[in-house]
Amino acid sequence: MQHRECTLELIDTQSGGDVSRIVVAGVEPLPGATVLEKARYLQNEGDGLRRLLLSEPYGDPAMSIDLIVEPSRPGAQAGYIIMEAMGYPLYSGSNTICTATALLQSGAIPMQEGLQNVVLESPAGLALITARVSEGRVDSITTQGEPAYVADEGLSVEVPHYGTVAFDLVWSGAYYAMIDASRHGFAITAEEQIALTAFGDAFVRAARPGLRQEHPELGDVGPLPFAHFMGPVRTLEPGRMESPSATYVHPGVLCRSPTGTGTSARLALMSRRGEIREGESLETISPRGSRFVGAVLNDARVGDYAALHSTITGRARLIAHSRITVDLDDPLVDPSDLANVLLPRPAGE
């Protein structure tokens, strides 16, 4: 019986403490005319790749996976499919920061000193990126993804052991339930991470039934994946603010970073309430002290919703470049929806 092995080439990165594992080789070309269609195919026919790389012994559910694919939109230099413990987010700020950095510093996209424009295609659409490069290293990434909008306001749900939890529902690449953390006794500190994770898990399980799963342009986007905890806003100077923030990623993960799309969702909600204006910024701070800067651009529309364009700025660092062997005969590997998307290992390698 022939031994079945495949090889994946990976670049591991981290932004704000969140690890993104970039898959740059080893996966068959996926069917689909767009990155969104490729992502849907992978979700339905090849989800074994996500499970493999986010599970022991190959990975950890707190990681994210970004698979590099061919783009379809004019001007895009690469496409990427985002995979996390909760499924397939259509856009992610930290994953975009990590993917752009990995592609630049690996040479997949030629790097230029100074400010450099990069265009990537996520399943949600184009990510317009400005990289700041100094001495052959990416110092920062500023990314503009799809516009965010407030989908529902003034919602509440009864959560076992926590009582009534009020929240607003905002789209920013995925649906976020936006929760005022201070109402529930949280200051969003490092010491509260376990308690915030438990609260987030109980909340998402209670809130999911009945919440919308449709996006006016992208269709079915699945059940609620994220809860974003908001701390108090402090004004540093006119037009520049900061706030502690944390995002719970269902199931069971509290992001180490303040999350890019969580920050975008916060900006859309603040703009709706008249708390932030075009040209102003909010720096979000995770329980571990990592920071992203969100800046308000201009108004937009998504279907019938008033929406907001914004940018997120952060930095990613490369932590590993590796090739892993996937033994499809290993009892810890489920090959049922994995073998059909992996390239076979060349004979004699």
pLDDT at 96: 97
| Secondary-structure breakdown of the chain: helix, strand, coil percentages, each rounded to the nearest 5 | 20, 45, 35
pLDDT at 1: 42
Instruction: Reply yes or no on whether 257 is catalytic.
Output: no
In 3D space, the residue among 173, 167, 159 whose CA is nearest the CA of residue 125 turns out to be 173
In 3D space, the residue among 77, 51, 83 whose CA is nearest the CA of residue 65 turns out to be 83
SS3 state at 73: coil
End-to-end CA distance of the chain: 18
SS3 state at 260: helix
Other CB atoms within 10 Å distance of the CB of residue 251: 14
Every domain range in the chain assigned CATH 3.10.310.10: 5-145+318-322, 148-314
* Distance from C-alpha of 127 to C-alpha of 93, rounded to nearest angstrom: 9
pLDDT at 349: 52
Instruction: Return the H-helix or E-strand segment holding 201.
Output: helix 193-207
Q: Which residues, including other chains, have CB under 8 Å from residue 346's CB and lie 6 or more apart? A: none
Looking at domain 5-145+318-322, does it have CATH number 3.40.225.10? no
Could you name the CATH architecture of 148-314? Roll (3.10)
Catalytic one among 15, 64, 92, 245? 92
Instruction: Render each residue's pLDDT in the chain as its tens digit; 349 residues.
Output: 455 889 999 999 999 999 999 999 999 999 999 999 999 999 999 999 999 999 989 999 999 999 999 999 999 999 999 999 889 999 999 999 999 999 999 999 999 999 999 999 999 999 999 999 999 999 999 999 889 999 999 999 999 999 999 999 999 999 999 999 999 999 999 999 999 999 999 999 999 998 888 999 888 888 999 999 999 999 999 999 999 999 999 888 999 999 999 999 999 999 999 999 999 999 999 999 999 999 999 999 999 999 999 999 999 999 999 999 999 999 989 888 998 899 876 555 5
- Does residue 57 have a cis peptide bond before it, meaning omega lies within 30 degrees of 0? yes
Show the tokens assigned to 201: 């898990």
Bridge partners, 150 (sequence order) = 170
